[in-house]
Amino acid sequence: MDKFTMALAILAFMIVAGGLLYTLSVGRLVGARKSEIDTPINEKIQKHPYLRNPVFLTWIFFLGFLLLFIIYLAFTRSW
């Protein structure tokens, strides 16, 4: 990879990592709040809170595709 592509890959990784950390911190903050008007959570969601959360699933799929794309670029580019 040339220097520009490597710099963009590193920048993209830093943005994704920062966004993931921010999402986790907001999730913990919201989870810590106890509200009286909240409805009870379904038992299936209580057993698997991360697998039933579309935000976390989106992050997991995005990071997987990003990793596959970086690996693809690394093996298709000639050094």
Question: Nearest 5°: phi and psi at 59?
Answer: -60, -45
Answer yes or no: is pLDDT of 64 > 80. Answer: yes
Over residues 7-34, the pLDDT tens digits come to 888 999 999 999 888 888 887 777 666 5
66: pLDDT strictly greater than 90 = yes
Locate 44 and state its tokens.
């299936």
SS in 3 state form for 26-75? Answer: HHHHHHHCCCCCCCCCCHHHHHCCCCCCHHHHHHHHHHHHHHHHHHHHHH
Q: Residue 78's pLDDT is what? A: 64
pLDDT at 4: 86
Q: Flag whether pLDDT at 75 surpasses 90.
A: no
